[in-house]
Amino acid sequence: MSNLLNGKRILVITSNTGIERDELLKPLEALSAQGAAMTHASVDGGTTQTFQQDTEKDRTVESTAKLADLNAADFDALVIPGGTVNADTLRQDADAQRLVKAFADAGKTVAAICHGPWVLIDAGVIEGKTLTSYPSLRTDLLNAKAAGWQDVEVFKCGANNWTLITSRTPKDLPAFNQAITQALQSA
C-alpha cells in the first residue's frame, strides 16, 4: 500500500441501485491503496446494487453512510460513479445536489465518470467548466452551459476555483483514478 494519499478523506456517492460496478469499486480500491480514507455513501444507506454495462445485475455492496448524514467539510474530494440509473437517481436527490454544490463552493476536487456528470448539471455547478463524459451526455452538458466537451479518457478542469475531473467509461478508470490521486497530492 502506498501512502500518497495518507490523511485524505474521499467520499463516493451513489444511489442504492444501478451503479456501474467498476466505476464504484475500482476507485474505492485504487484510492484506498494510495492511503486515502474512503467513505461510500448512498441515498438510503445500506445495500447498494451494482450492474455491469447498465443491464446485468452484479454484486451488492454495503455503503457505510447515508447522504443526508454527511457534510462536504468532512472530506477532501468527492467521486461520482456512473450507471444511468445511479446518475439519474442521484441527480434528483436533494442531498446529492447539496453535497456536490458544497464541494464545489469549498474549492474541493469533484470527480465524475460516465453518466456521473448528470448530477453536476442538477447541482448547478458546471457552467463555465470543460469536461468529458459518456458521449450521450455531451448535448445535456453543453445545454447546461458547460464551456466545452472533450472526447478524451480524462479531463481536468480547474475553472471557477475548484477542480473537476471527468472520464468517459470504465475503460478510462486507470487515468481517472490517477488524476484524482494527482489532484489530491497537490491540494
**Residues with catalytic roles:** 114-115
Q: Where are the alpha helices (DSSP H) in 82-137?
A: 84-91, 94-105, 117-123
**Torsion sign, CA atoms 147, 116, 31, 26:** negative
Distance CA 176, CA 155 (A): 9
Residue closest to 111 by CA, chosen among 15, 4, 6, 24: 24
Q: CB under 8 Å to 2, separation ≥6 — which residues?
A: 33, 34, 35
Q: Tally the C-alpha atoms within 13 A of residue 51's C-alpha that lie toward its C-beta.
A: 18
